[in-house]
Amino acid sequence: MSILSRAPSESDGLSAQSPCDFQLAEALIANDPGLQAIAAEVQSERLPGDKGIHRAVLLVTQYFITKYGHPDEHEQPTFVAVARQLMLTAAALTDLAEQSQPVPPPRAVYRDPASGVFFVRGKPKRRLGKAQAKVLAVLYEAGEDGLSKDKVEIKSGHSDWRGILKRLRDSDPDWASVIHFPGKAHGRYRIG
């Protein structure tokens, strides 16, 4: 059972979380190979519910401290928020482990619906300008099929949308790896 398909209970301490929080936890797992490896490890251990969550919290905490460093004193309020997200991520990992299903492959680009923040290959990207955000949102919603140049212009409302994408690609290697221009006439533009 997916964490999205079950109602959180008081016993798991997650009842006050919104469905968006659970989607973000699953997106973190889907976009981060390190978290996918933890999911596979927790799955292989076949621990019962609470023990599985405890083990996943421990592994995820160690992973984030290794990846981002230990928080210092002035970061503690932020760390409390991160700790809540760690608990949700651990619960999602445990659900995946209990399902005995393979961990989903990572998506190259994910957009958090609540904040509008884009994650590229698991990394949160800086806030975008309005024009950049609009063009990227249009392409994100189009999915893997992408859009023709006319459709991108109509949906985004920006005649310079190709310049917007090119400047973003040129300024950031992460974006360069996921913004795709067609190599031939009548091709489709996409991100992913």
pLDDT digits (tens, 9 = 90+) for 136-154: 999 999 988 999 999 999 9
b/e burial code for range 47-80 (CB count within 10 A of at least 16 → b): beeeebbebbbebbbebbeeeeeebeeeeeeeee
Q: 6 in a domain, yes or no?
A: no
Higher-confidence residue of 46 and 187: namely 187
Tally of structural domains, the chain: 2
134 burial via Cβ count (<10 Å: 0-12, 13-18, 19+)? middle
The reported pLDDT for the residue numbered 192 is 87
The reported pLDDT for the residue numbered 7 is 37
26 pLDDT higher than 60: yes
Q: What is the pLDDT of residues 31-63, one digit of tens each?
A: 777 777 787 777 777 777 777 777 887 787 777
Q: What is the pLDDT of residues 55-105, one digit of tens each?
A: 887 787 777 777 766 655 544 445 555 666 666 777 777 776 666 666 556
Percent of the chain with pLDDT over 90: 28
Report the C-alpha gap between 22 and 18 in whole angstroms: 7
Q: 55 in a domain, yes or no?
A: yes
The reported pLDDT for the residue numbered 144 is 87
Question: Model pTM?
Answer: 0.50
Which CATH number fits the domain that encloses residue 121? 1.10.10.10
- Structural domain ending residue among the three candidates 99, 122, 151: 99
8 A C-beta contact, residue 99 and residue 109: no
Q: 165 in a domain, yes or no?
A: yes
Q: Please indicate, yes or no, whether residues 128 and 176 belong to a single structural domain of this protein.
A: yes
Domain carrying residue 21: 16-99
Higher-confidence residue of 21 and 107: namely 107
